[in-house]
A and B are shown apart, each in its own frame.
Chain A
Amino acid sequence: DAGVIQSPRHEVTEMGQEVTLRCKPISGHDYLFWYRQTMMRGLELLIYFNNNVPIDDSGMPEDRFSAKMPNASFSTLKIQPSEPRDSAVYFCASSLGRGFVYFGEGSWLTVV
């Protein structure tokens, strides 16, 4: 398997623009996690899905953030409108049940 695939790898956007991050989990995995990593706050769980259903979105910073998982092979994290403080690395990860968690390479977001 190709592992967890994220796109784009790098994005630079202007404040106020909409940003969409994409994730393809490992085939067959039933858990999908979105994390954000910054120097100040480390790794923060934003939201996770189980069998395509959002289970816990308590880590989503505010209404500007939204996530969807329309099917088992695709998820998006959207920020609208983006702000400079959203600059971070966003990771998608997946697991089969409560087993090993596999991370993607991350999407490096810079909002200027």
Chain B
Amino acid sequence: KQEVTQIPAALSVPEGENLVLNCSFTDSAIYNLQWFRQDPGKGLTSLLLIQSSQREQTSGRLNASLDKSSGRSTLYIAASQPGDSATYLCAAPPTSGTYKYIFGTGTRLKVLA
């Protein structure tokens, strides 16, 4: 059964800092991995999707990497801004069984102005 863990659970950084969020998954045979952002009281917004054959994806100040062999993904945020404050979640559906997106518990990020 796929289990997804995110560390740290919460993070507070000053504006402008580069930061890394971590995501670990137990079943390395995955279709893909997605990173999402959730603002308070809102739904989730997909940020990046990495296919199983890819090593990384970039979108603006965001870069996500995937290492299936170690069961890890990282989300790198460059030059953080207060508007980046949100909860970040990762999800990875394993190739075994049905196509179920299993979510981590998230990292709550606060960027201080």
Residues of A within 8 A of B (CB): 4, 31, 33, 42-43, 45, 48, 50, 55-56, 91, 93, 98-106
**Contact call B89/A50, Cβ cutoff below 8 A:** no
Bound CA–CA A106/B45 (angstroms): 12
Q: Is the interface of B mostly helix, strand, loop or mixed?
A: loop
* Pairwise interchain contact A102-B46, C-beta atoms closer than 8 A: yes
- Docked pose: A103 CA to B89 CA in angstroms: 13
Closest B-chain residue to A42, C-beta based?
B105
Q: Contact flags (1/0) for B31-64 with A, using CB distance below 8 Å?
A: 1101010000011111001000000000000000
Q: Chain B nearest CB: distance from A11 CB in Å?
A: 15
B103 lies within 8 A of A98 (CB): no
A-B pairs with CB below 8 Å: how many? 51
B interface residues with partner A (beta carbon < 8 Å) = 31-32, 34, 36, 42-46, 49, 89, 91, 93, 97-106
A48 CA / B93 CA spacing, docked (Å): 13
Q: Is the CB of B103 within 8 A of A42?
A: yes
In the bound complex, do residue A105 and residue B42 qualify as a contact, i.e. CB atoms below 8 Å apart? yes
Is A101 a contact of B42 with CB atoms below 8 Å?
no
Smallest CB gap from B98: residue in A: A56
Pair B43/A103 contact, Cβ less than 8 Å: yes
Given A42-B105, A103-B45, residue A48 in contact with residue B100 (CB < 8 A): yes
B43 near A100 (CB under 8 angstroms)?
no
